[in-house]
Amino acid sequence: MAWAADDETALAAAYDQWRTNVFESALMADIESVEQFEIAARHVRPGDMHDSVLASADPGRHAALLHELIDLGADELYVHQVPKDQDGFVEVYADKVLPELQGKVRDEAVDA
């Protein structure tokens, strides 16, 4: 997940931190160094991130994606904030995202 105060910041942070996560697993298995990852990532554009990370300022979009995963039958969800603003992420998830999941998962699994 990439949450930020606005969509552009969320996408820019996802791109900055995770642009190498757009590669197929077969390619990632053959890349051996940080330098090689950086070379491969030269062709990645910020818009390419949309298939590998939800980048949005809208807590409702985050909750909707988590609802979809729960509806697919996930037993557990581990949510990772890609951008560096961990405090803002935790606050938004505690106040706006996790309450939307109440009743969808076991209560102890929705601890903020």
Share of the chain above pLDDT 70, in %: 92
Q: Please answer whether residues 54 and 65 qualify as being in contact, where contact means their C-beta atoms are separated by less than 8 angstroms.
A: yes
* Residue 19: C-alpha distances to residues 4, 40, 71, 111 (Å): 17, 10, 28, 30
- The answer to whether residue 24 scores a pLDDT higher than 90 is no
Residue 27's pLDDT is what?
84
Residue 15: CB atoms within 10 Å: 21
Residue with tokens 């949005």: 56
Residue 12's pLDDT is what?
96
Residue 46's pLDDT is what?
93
Phi and psi angles of residue 98, each rounded to the nearest 5 degrees, phi first: -60, -35
Residue 54's pLDDT is what?
95
Residue 112's pLDDT is what?
52
Residue 106's pLDDT is what?
56
Q: What are 34-62's pLDDT values in tens digits?
A: 899 889 889 999 999 998 899 999 999 99
Q: Name the pTM for this structure.
A: 0.80
